[in-house]
Chain A
Amino acid sequence: MIRFDNVTKTYKGSVVALRDANADIQKGEFVFLVGPSGSGKSTFLRLLLKEEEPDAGRIWVAGKQIGKLSSWKVPYLRRNLGCVFQDFRLLPNKTVYENVAFALQVIGRPRHVIATQVPQVLELVGLAKKTDRFPNELSGGEQQRVAIARAFVNRPLILLADEPTGNLDPGTTQGIMKLLDRINKTGTTVVMATHDVVIVNAMRRRVIELDHGSVVRDQARGIYGYGA
């Protein structure tokens, strides 16, 4: 589903974000991307979204080598990739329902599809009763649930999460992890970048550890770090 083949990415000022990185992630896997700040986790995700181009190496997403993808096809690549961030990125002037529906509207889904999909996904994330609230009326955990609903409403093959629990307390974090686990059980590949030792150790899923841009560990059913 995702393959990195000797990928190197250097930013301006010769900061190496990824160095000769290799990874192969199968359909339906749940993968933690761990490592200290600046180790290349976010770059890994940005490369998948084709927000950045690698300097060397090849990247495959859903069977396609995305380096060869022409720019007008990038939106169609992104429809296969749901995205969740630490800062939620919800639209403050839209309700919960509208925020989720927006993701379908802008890719041209017909109204009857929106009318059935949005309530379904809001039910899945446990916000069926708060559809008319605005983001500032919700707790952080609820806002992240809306963001997950928005990322998942189009049933992407892959869900990318960049520190999705970074702004949340441990109790709320657990709820979000349960939700991501449920989404993973539907067959969606989940790649989650995180600092959170506790959740990585509790979930016992595959761990890819990055350090200064290099993959230093790739372990099935891993924990955050040997020392942790």
Chain B
Amino acid sequence: MALSVDYVIKETSTNIWRNRMVALAAMLTVALSLTFVGGALLFKQGVAKATARWEGGVQLVVFMETTSTPSESHAILSQMVGPNIPSVGSKPVAPGSGGMPQVKSVWHCDQACTYKEFKTLNSDDPTITAVTKPSDLPQSYRVQLQNGNQAPSVARLLNHQPGVQDVVYPSKAVSDLLRLSKFLQGVSFLIAFVLLVAAIVLILNAIRLAIFARRKEVSVMKLVGATNWFIQVPFMLEGLFQGVVGSLLAWGAMALGTSKFESLSNNNPFALTQALTISSHDVFTTGLLVVLLGAAIGAGGSAVAVRRFLDV
């Protein structure tokens, strides 16, 4: 049997209007919880980008000049891991005899590897990635130390050697950022989870009230032989609508928050926020995810309500 579109739209919209206060509460809770989810995801992405170089416990990076010779490169490697190890690949290798005692492991990031990292770091700026070739970028050794506090002294030993462009290690701010971000993510996902449950319950309750408000219509519909599907669809759509509107509000809040954050960090040379880059592309994909999540919450909540309270 055909469900006429204008019937469904009319029913759904009058339902929502009659129930507007409850619907508003449900939508705002969905918006709030999804803003937390989206914000936490964006923050995670921003931190991951800002700290991509320090992934996997890397504590020191030795960048070689793009013009450095293989022998210069080899000399640096031997200084770190000893003369018995002729080369290292993308897998960390522990130093042999004659290597530096402070070094725990070393791996090599060649120009292709650096280019990949470069693209991730600059994903919001396609012009830069377009004009840059892998050969413009330095190869590097990624070093894990026995003790992170030794990074400055090891860096001094390796710096200013022939072929070495620079030796960098994460500042205290970056390692703090990494720890803080883990903590914040944990907390915000926890809050988001609790709010998500609240949002589902509120949608469920909104639909339950809508069903109660229309119990006379529903009983007449059953009596004259309306199919279950016909009776249920407007209520399901009402829940879906609330979920989607809530998630769109969350998307807006995320976009607004991100642009505020960017203007804040652009006007303030404080390195911690400058390191965090959130591209509009990230906001878009996270926004889509949030809308999908909102639709799922709405459909799920109303489906439970319809199953439990619409006795057809």
Provided the pairs A78-B222, A89-B219, A89-B223 are in contact, do residues A106 and B230 lie with their beta carbons within 8 angstroms?
A: yes
Please name the residue on chain B nearest to A153 by beta carbon.
B224
Find chain A residues with CB under 8 A from B2 CB.
108
Distance, CA A150 to CA B227, complexed state (A): 17
Q: Is the CB of B216 within 8 A of A91?
A: yes
Smallest Cβ distance from B25 to chain A, in angstroms?
25
Find chain B residues with CB under 8 A from A106 CB.
220-221, 224, 226, 230-231
Q: Is the CB of A77 within 8 A of B225?
A: yes
What 1/0 flags go to B206-221 for Cβ under 8 Å of A?
Answer: 0000000000110111
What 1/0 flags go to B227-251 for Cβ under 8 Å of A?
Answer: 1101100000000000000000000
Interface residue B4 (Cβ < 8 Å from any Cβ of A): yes
On chain A, the number of residues with a Cβ less than 8 Å from chain B's Cβ atoms is: 20
Provided the pairs A75-B228, A76-B225 are in contact, do residues A108 and B220 lie with their beta carbons within 8 angstroms?
A: no
Q: Is the CB of A103 within 8 A of B224?
A: yes
Provided the pairs A105-B7, A108-B3 are in contact, do residues A75 and B217 lie with their beta carbons within 8 angstroms?
A: no
Distance, CA A151 to CA B217, complexed state (A): 15
Residue in A75, A92, A151 whose Cβ sees the most chain B Cβ within 10 Å: A75
Q: How many of chain B's residues touch chain A, expressed as a range? A: 10 to 19
Distance, CA A72 to CA B230, complexed state (A): 12
Interface residue B157 (Cβ < 8 Å from any Cβ of A): no
Distance, CA A76 to CA B225, complexed state (A): 6
Find chain B residues with CB under 8 A from A103 CB.
220, 224
Interface residue B173 (Cβ < 8 Å from any Cβ of A): no
Find chain A residues with CB under 8 A from B222 CB.
75, 78
Distance, CA A103 to CA B227, complexed state (A): 12
Interface residue A107 (Cβ < 8 Å from any Cβ of B): yes
What 1/0 flags go to A65-105 for Cβ under 8 Å of B?
Answer: 00000001001111100010000010110000000001101
What 1/0 flags go to A130-151 for Cβ under 8 Å of B?
Answer: 0000000000000000000011
Distance, CA A91 to CA B218, complexed state (A): 10
Interface residue B131 (Cβ < 8 Å from any Cβ of A): no
Smallest Cβ distance from B3 to chain A, in angstroms?
7
Which residue numbers of B lie inside 8 Å of A, CB to CB? 1-4, 7, 216-217, 219-228, 230-231
